[in-house]
């Protein structure tokens, strides 16, 4: 069977030598990465690029990708492997052949030190929901940006004077290991649990300003257990790692929300570190609050992972394993029930009784 190869040509304009060098990367490393990921061949001379491959959709997607990356390079943005990965993921979400969606309409979160661009439909929808609703859930695997984007929205709201303070809350549950006694005051004890939130704040506001705002209690760090009895008005509250809350803790947290406040609850229901037999407050809330007005739930999947490409493959592998394991459990359970039903059937009972009588 003969495979027909598709070839497309594109001229990147306006032609700027520095931007073209930035697009291609040192020793054409960016071009080689795109070729490897999309299984295409890219040849170029100055601003004229020839793209060929066996899959017409991949060729079309490569053309769109080069245009988008060149636009970034013209804006003096460094083209990195991470950026290429993000654009590739976005095109996968929207389908490789899609060329109609304009990147100009993309949401941007503006903070003092950073412009954050949500990638893909799911992340953009998540940010829109946070801006629209008072209580928002971001649920999905690690690396999908649910916590980072929540912090970005919180910083944006604080700088726009829509809220008076940011509250960072997290249950102090160890990830499957006992760390023992932690020295220091309350803030120092829970700092290790909130490090991802701190890192995001430092990136968006700078070290000095974050430390100042913490001193003034404009940014407040609180363990979940200390939230009981409080009413939080005009605040942006982030509850991170919420899969490690109990049902009672989740209900307690949700009923702390006051006037003018926004709450974002993030978590991954596949990574619960609660003691065996304790049900997750996040999983319970997903069922109880489904369809409640004023509450949004954004579900992320492995296709939304924006870390190293292997992270996405790891998440997908675990998902497949969980499905297979659940299928096997159901099959074993059904086999046991069938065996039990057969044993308890009148015919089997009569046969057993007759056999016993003969003996």
By residue range, what is the domain housing residue 244?
109-307
Cα–Cα distance measured from residue 149 to residue 232, given in angstroms and rounded to the nearest whole number: 21
**Contact criterion met (CB below 8 Å) for 132 and 296:** yes
Handedness of CA 12, 17, 22, 24 (dihedral sign): positive
Q: What DSSP line would sit under 311-340, residue for residue?
A: HHHHHHHHHHHHHHHHHHHHHHHHHHHHHH
Note down pLDDT in tens along the chain; length 359 residues: 344 678 889 899 898 999 999 999 988 999 988 888 888 899 999 899 999 988 888 888 888 889 989 998 998 888 988 788 777 766 553 444 444 444 444 678 888 887 888 887 889 999 999 998 999 999 998 888 899 999 999 999 999 888 999 999 888 665 444 444 555 655 566 666 677 788 889 989 989 999 999 999 999 888 887 787 788 889 999 999 899 999 999 999 998 888 889 999 999 988 888 888 888 999 999 999 988 888 999 998 877 776 666 666 776 787 788 788 888 888 888 888 888 877 776 655 555 566 655 65
Question: Based on the structure, what is the number of domains in the chain?
Answer: 3
- What was the pLDDT predicted at 94? 41
> Within this chain, do residues 293 and 343 fall inside the same structural domain, yes or no?
no
d(CA 19, CA 28): 13
Q: Which of 75, 98, 121 is the last residue of a domain?
A: 98
CATH number of the domain within which 37 lies = 3.30.1370.10
**CA-to-CA distance for 69 and 103, rounded, in angstroms?**
11
| 235-239 and 262-267 beta bridge pairing | parallel
157 and 226 co-located in one domain: yes
Same-domain status, 332 and 253: no
79 shares its domain with 47:
yes
Domain check: are 229 and 169 in the same one? yes
CATH number at residue 172: 3.40.50.300
Q: Are both 89 and 158 inside the same structural domain? A: no
Do 212 and 126 share a domain, yes or no? yes
In a domain, 187, yes or no: yes
**Residue 136 backbone phi and psi in degrees, to 5:** -135, 135
- Residue 149 in any domain: the answer is yes
Boundary (domain end) residue, out of 68, 98, 128 = 98
What the block records as the tokens of 78 is 């460094």
- Residue 104 resides in a domain: no
The answer to whether residue 103 sits within a structural domain is no
User: What pLDDT score does 83 carry?
Assistant: 83
Q: What Å distances lie between residue 233 and 131, 182, 256, 258, CA to CA?
A: 17, 31, 9, 4
Q: Mark whether 152 and 247 lie in a shared domain.
A: yes
Tokens of 97: 């052949």
State the Cα angle at 259 between 257 and 265, rounded to 5°: 30
Beta bridge partners of 10: 49
Closest CA to 52 of 65, 40, 34, 66: 40
Name 187's Cβ contacts closer than 8 Å, sequence gap at least 6.
Answer: 214, 221
Residue 87 CA to its chain's centroid (Å): 16
**All residues at 6 or more sequence positions from 188 whose CB lies less than 8 Å from its CB, including other chains:** 182
- Among residues 65, 98, 131, the one where a domain terminates is 98
Instruction: Identify whether 46 is part of a domain.
Output: yes
Together in a domain, 23 and 114: no
Report how far residue 40's alpha carbon sits from residue 97's, in angstroms, rounded to the nearest whole number: 14
Shared-domain flag, residues 143 and 245: yes
In a domain, 56, yes or no: yes
Q: What are phi and psi of 257, to 5 degrees?
A: -65, 125
Task: Determine the angle formed by the axes of helices 81-94 and 120-132, rounding to 10 degrees.
Answer: 80
Query: Same structural domain for residues 151 and 279?
Result: yes
Q: Structure tokens of 105?
A: 């309409």
Q: Is residue 49 part of a domain?
A: yes
Contact 205, 113 (CB under 8 A): yes
Residue 1 is assigned to a structural domain of this protein: no
Number of residues written out for the chain: 359
Whether residues 331 and 268 fall in one domain: no
């Amino acid at each position: 069977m003969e495979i027909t190869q598709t070839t497309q040509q594109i001229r990147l304009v306006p032609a700027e030598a520095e931007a073209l060098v930035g697009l291609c990367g040192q020793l054409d490393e960016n071009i080689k990465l795109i070729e490897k990921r999309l299984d295409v061949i890219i040849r170029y001379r100055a601003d004229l690029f020839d793209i060929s491959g066996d899959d017409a959709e991949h060729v079309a997607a490569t053309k769109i990708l080069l245009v988008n990356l060149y636009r970034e390079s013209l804006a003096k943005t460094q083209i990195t492997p991470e950026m290429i990965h993000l654009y590739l993921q976005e095109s996968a979400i929207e389908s490789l052949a899609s060329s109609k969606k304009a990147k100009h309409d993309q949401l941007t979160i503006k903070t003092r030190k950073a412009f954050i661009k949500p990638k893909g439909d799911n992340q953009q929808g998540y940010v829109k929901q946070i801006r629209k609703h008072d209580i928002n859930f971001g649920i999905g695997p690690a690396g999908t940006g649910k916590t980072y984007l929540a912090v970005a929205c919180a910083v944006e709201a604080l700088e726009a004077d829509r809220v008076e303070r940011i509250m960072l809350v997290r249950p102090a549950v160890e990830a499957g290991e006992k760390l023992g006694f932690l020295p220091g005051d309350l803030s120092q004890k829970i700092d290790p649990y909130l490090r991802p939130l701190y890192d995001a704040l430092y990136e968006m506001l700078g070290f000095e300003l974050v430390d100042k705002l913490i001193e003034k209690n404009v940014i407040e760090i609180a363990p979940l257990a200390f939230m009981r009895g409080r009413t939080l008005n005009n605040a942006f509250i982030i509850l991170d790692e919420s899969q490690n809350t109990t049902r009672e803790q989740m209900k307690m947290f949700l009923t702390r929300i006051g006037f003018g406040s926004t709450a974002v609850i993030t978590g991954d229901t596949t990574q619960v570190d609660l003691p065996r037999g304790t049900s997750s407050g996040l999983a319970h809330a997903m069922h109880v609050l489904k369809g409640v007005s004023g509450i949004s739930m954004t579900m992320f999947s492995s296709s939304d992972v924006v870390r190293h490409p292997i992270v996405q493959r790891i998440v997908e592998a675990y998902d497949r394993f969980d499905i297979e394991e659940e299928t096997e459990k159901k099959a074993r359970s059904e086999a046991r029930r069938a065996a039990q039903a057969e044993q308890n059937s009148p015919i089997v009972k009569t046969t057993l009784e007759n056999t016993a009588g003969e003996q």
